[in-house]
């Protein structure tokens, strides 16, 4: 299926990259040469000093310029449509209602000594990750490599700041991986970026106090689909005996947050659904590199393929979380994926939260303070077998509320997700 694409002007700002709609999902690794580092450049994997204010402002200005250009390209894809405009306005009101919490988390993100922002893991413009470090760094800590959501279009590493803060308080290092969004990249680029970010964490997290033998992979919304594709791709490569920069055996658990919207498990079933919710069919197919590529990028279908069955043994335990009140993607999507995984012998657990929506689990509940069921379930898995950590978990004070209840309830009603 040939898709129309906006013309580009070839000025190299990122939006003008040529995106090949025929790139396969399971690609052979290559050993292309890297550029030579200039004097004074920090090597990948080395904990460096914080960048200066001038450097951070320069980086922010460059990203703002790039995002502005990509937004213009994206608007040319969207055109004038009531669905996406309505969703965009709802998103604005939703963010405004949660702003008291966002401001507090933002202050932590920019000024806390526990946060290492924009650690470079690769050579693409978005190849950066944020690290959230526990206060007590006396012993190696378990690690969560987190891929944020954002409908493949608005994902950004800072979206994981609230999760990073909460897990860091529980003695867990969190690495939030950024990746190219559409239209700067398509799904192959996103998977490649995520895999490279995971590789960086597996090979370098010890430099930041992490335990390389206790790494967990987590994804939320579109980020979980990207992470799942990277995981499945890696498992197949290992089974085929390819040389890789990281191993699935280094990942103890895969956490999928927000269920079907997380994985977009069976993309064939998702196309019409997301079209009705404002992500138009033409854009979705452009992101997924054409209708002919949907099967390659559907983890549910990939694991059921006979050629993949021998690689199942490489996969870690998989835990899927979903709210039964998720109207973005029904919880049956996670149930179906769990069934598909069990049918081929994978280790999978499905946890459903009664009445929770797509945004309840990731935003409203953590902003509410008190006990967060999802966080407790994740921490219980990460700290399993660690008697000291489990004992400490019982004495952790409850998180304080960041947003008034009435604002959370209203935000829940108008959430576009």
Active site residues: 221, 326, 358
Under 8 Å between Cβ of 259 and 320: yes
Q: Are strands 115-120 and 128-132 parallel, antiparallel or unpaired?
A: antiparallel
Give the end-to-end CA distance of the chain in Å, rounded to a whole number.
29
CA dihedral 375, 380, 386, 389 (to 10 degrees): 40
204/350 Cα distance (integer angstroms): 31
Give the pair of three-digit tokens for residue 215.
């790494």
377/399 Cα distance (integer angstroms): 15
CA dihedral 58, 62, 68, 71 (to 10 degrees): -130
Under 8 Å between Cβ of 141 and 173: yes
Give the pair of three-digit tokens for residue 344.
């081929």
Give residues with Cβ within 8 angstroms of 408, minimum separation 6: 97, 98, 364, 367, 368
């Amino acid at each position: 299926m040939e898709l129309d694409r906006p013309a580009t002007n070839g000025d190299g700002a990122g939006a003008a990259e040529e995106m090949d709609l025929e790139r396969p999902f399971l690609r052979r690794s290559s050993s292309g040469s890297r550029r030579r580092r200039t004097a004074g450049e920090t090597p990948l994997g080395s904990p460096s000093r914080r960048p200066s204010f001038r450097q951070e402002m320069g980086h922010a200005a460059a990203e703002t310029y790039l995002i502005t250009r990509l937004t213009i390209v994206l608007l040319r894809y969207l055109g004038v449509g009531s669905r996406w405009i309505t969703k965009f306005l709802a998103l604005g009101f939703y963010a405004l209602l949660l702003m008291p919490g966002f401001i507090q988390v933002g202050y932590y993100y920019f000024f806390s000594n526990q946060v290492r922002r924009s650690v470079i893991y690769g050579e693409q413009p978005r190849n950066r990750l944020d690290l959230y470090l526990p206060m007590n760094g006396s012993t190696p800590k378990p690690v969560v490599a987190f891929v944020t959501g954002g409908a493949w279009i608005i994902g950004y590493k800072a979206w994981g700041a609230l999760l990073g803060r909460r897990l860091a308080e529980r003695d867990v290092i969190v690495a939030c991986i950024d990746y190219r969004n559409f239209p700067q990249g398509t799904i192959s680029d996103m998977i490649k970026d995520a895999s490279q970010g995971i590789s960086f964490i597996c090979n370098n997290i010890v430099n930041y106090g992490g335990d390389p033998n206790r790494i967990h992979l987590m994804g939320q919304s579109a980020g979980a689909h990207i992470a799942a594709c990277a995981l499945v791709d890696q498992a197949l490569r290992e089974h085929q005996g390819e040389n890789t920069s990281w191993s699935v055996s280094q990942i103890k658990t895969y956490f999928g947050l927000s269920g079907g919207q997380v994985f977009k498990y069976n993309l064939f079933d998702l196309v019409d659904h997301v079209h009705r919710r404002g992500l138009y069919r033409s854009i979705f197919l452009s992101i997924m590199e054409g209708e002919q590529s949907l099967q390659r990028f559907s983890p549910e279908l990939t694991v059921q393929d006979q050629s993949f069955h021998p690689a199942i043994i490489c996969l870690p335990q998989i835990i899927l979380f979903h709210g039964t009140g998720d109207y973005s993607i029904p919880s049956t999507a996670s149930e179906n994926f769990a069934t598909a995984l069990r049918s081929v012998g994978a280790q999978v657990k499905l946890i459903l939260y009664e009445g929770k929506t797509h945004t309840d689990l990731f935003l409203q509940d953590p902003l509410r303070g008190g006990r967060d069921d999802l966080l407790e379930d994740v921490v219980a898995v990460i700290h399993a077998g660690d008697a000291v950590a489990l004992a400490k978990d019982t004495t952790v004070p409850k998180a304080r509320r960041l947003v008034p209840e009435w604002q959370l309830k209203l935000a829940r009603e108008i959430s576009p997700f």
